[in-house]
Amino acid sequence: MTLQTRLQDDVPAFTAAFVGACLEVFLVAVLLCDRRFALFGIANPAAFFAAGQAFLLAACIVAKLAARAFLDPLADILLGVHQFRQGNLTHRIPPSRVKEIDALAGQLNRMAGDLSSLEAMKDDFVTTVSHELRSPMAAVEGYAALLSSEAGLTPRGAANIEKIAKNMSRLRSLVESILDLSRMAAGSLPVANRPTALAPLVSETAALFAEAMRARGVELQVELPADLPLAVGDPVRVRQVVTNLLDNAIKYNRRGGRVAVTGRRDGGFVELAVSDQGPGIPEADREAVFSKFRRLPQADPELASVKGVGLGLPISRGLARVMGGDVLVFESSGGGSRFVLRLPGEATP
């Protein structure tokens, strides 16, 4: 007996017609019968499968929205922590709808605000002390000059006075650097920008490091094109930046390494690059080196013993920006670091 015949025998005619229509429309149908083959329901697996797909799709959409609602605030937290680590204490993490994450963001923002206030207090204190040091430093330098002119000065006495003068010069340089940072932060650092030739400036500055380069066996290569345009900047401040970059390239280079100075035009800017063959700077720390009083740890004991307070690069970038340019850091092609001074180029007619 066929299935169609059994349906016609066991169920009313309208039920048989309905089931027959289902069998004609759907490729697969399931008839629900009792032990006596009495039909009490019909199920279409295709419909159940389609409903399952729709439910799965809806579940995926809900899961994605829920994940974004949770992960996006976490990404904001990570970005904020990264900004704080780089010294950007003015950054603020946006609020979140997730209660716990919003509380964490609030705590981190308050911490950044407190650190910013402490940083401002420290800067004010250091600036005040630096101002107060200028008068006694001038007195010590004056007395040292008087002593050096005394008749009958012994060689040992002359050597000691020379040490006093050298250390006072270092102290004066440190004080002036701190005051420069303070003026830059206040927007009151005076600069006298004018067209400046970089080639002679680099040559004159490099001559100051001849002894330091010989001591470390460092070779200097200056490759500036003859048609390098004039840069627009304060010559005194440009020299200060170049001095800082060359000083770092020599001090943090490997013994017997090379320092390369190259230049080029980049659109409306002139670039002066100083590359070394030292250990380099990890990408995650490249912005941190421009933070005040920040010095990266060095694995090499000789490099770790290099003296400094971590002001050269912050001052260099600050001066470059005051002159309308910037100082950037990259990985050097031969290993080490490449610092680039960008300054506006002289406008061509």
Q: Is the residue at 62 inside a domain?
A: no
The answer on 326 and 228 residing in a single domain is yes
The answer on 201 and 164 residing in a single domain is no
The answer on 216 and 198 residing in a single domain is yes
Single out the residue in 143, 165, 186 at which a domain terminates.
Answer: 186
Question: What CATH number is associated with residue 271?
Answer: 3.30.565.10
Interval 89-108 mean pLDDT: 86
Q: Is the residue at 29 inside a domain?
A: yes
Interval 61-74 mean pLDDT: 69
In the beta sheet, which residues pair with residue 30? 43
Single out the residue in 155, 186, 217 at which a domain terminates.
Answer: 186
The answer on 204 and 297 residing in a single domain is yes
Q: Which amino acid is at 61?
A: I
Single out the residue in 186, 216, 234 at which a domain terminates.
Answer: 186
The whole-number pLDDT of residue 342 equals 96
Q: Is the residue at 106 inside a domain?
A: no
Q: Which residues contact 244 (CB under 8 A, 6 or more apart)?
A: 312, 313, 315, 316
Average pLDDT, rounded, for the chain: 80
Q: Which domain holds residue 217?
A: 194-344
Residue 338 has pLDDT above 90, yes or no: yes
The answer on 258 and 199 residing in a single domain is yes
Q: Is the residue at 280 inside a domain?
A: yes
Interval 304-323 mean pLDDT: 84
Q: Is the residue at 109 inside a domain?
A: no
Q: Which amino acid is at 48?
A: F
Q: Is the residue at 112 inside a domain?
A: no
Q: Mind giving me the DSSP string for 109-143?
A: HHHHHHHHHHHHHHHHHHHHHHHHHHHHHHHHHHH
The answer on 31 and 132 residing in a single domain is no
The number of domains in the chain is 3
The answer on 200 and 181 residing in a single domain is no
Interval 306-314 mean pLDDT: 80
pTM: 0.62
Q: Residue 344: CA atoms inside 13 Å, Cβ hemisphere, count?
A: 13
The answer on 238 and 319 residing in a single domain is yes
The answer on 282 and 304 residing in a single domain is yes
Looking at mean pLDDT, say which of 146-160, 180-194, 237-251 comes out highest: 237-251
Q: Is the residue at 86 inside a domain?
A: no
Q: Is 277 helix (H, G, I), strand (E, B) or coil?
A: coil
Question: Each residue of 106-142: pLDDT tens digit?
Answer: 998 899 888 888 877 877 777 777 777 777 888 888 8
Looking at mean pLDDT, say which of 84-93, 114-123, 312-321, 333-342 comes out highest: 312-321
The whole-number pLDDT of residue 232 equals 95
Distance CA 345, CA 324 (A): 10
The answer on 229 and 179 residing in a single domain is no
The answer on 286 and 246 residing in a single domain is yes
Q: Is the residue at 253 inside a domain?
A: yes
Residue 40 has pLDDT above 50, yes or no: no
The answer on 208 and 328 residing in a single domain is yes
Q: Mind giving me the DSSP string for 33-82?
A: E-TT--EEEEE-HHHHHHHHHHHHHHHHHHHHHHHHHHHHHHHHHHHHHH
Are residues 277 and 258 in contact, defined by beta-carbon separation less than 8 angstroms?
Answer: yes
H/E segment holding residue 284: none
Q: What share of the chain in percent tops pLDDT 90?
A: 22
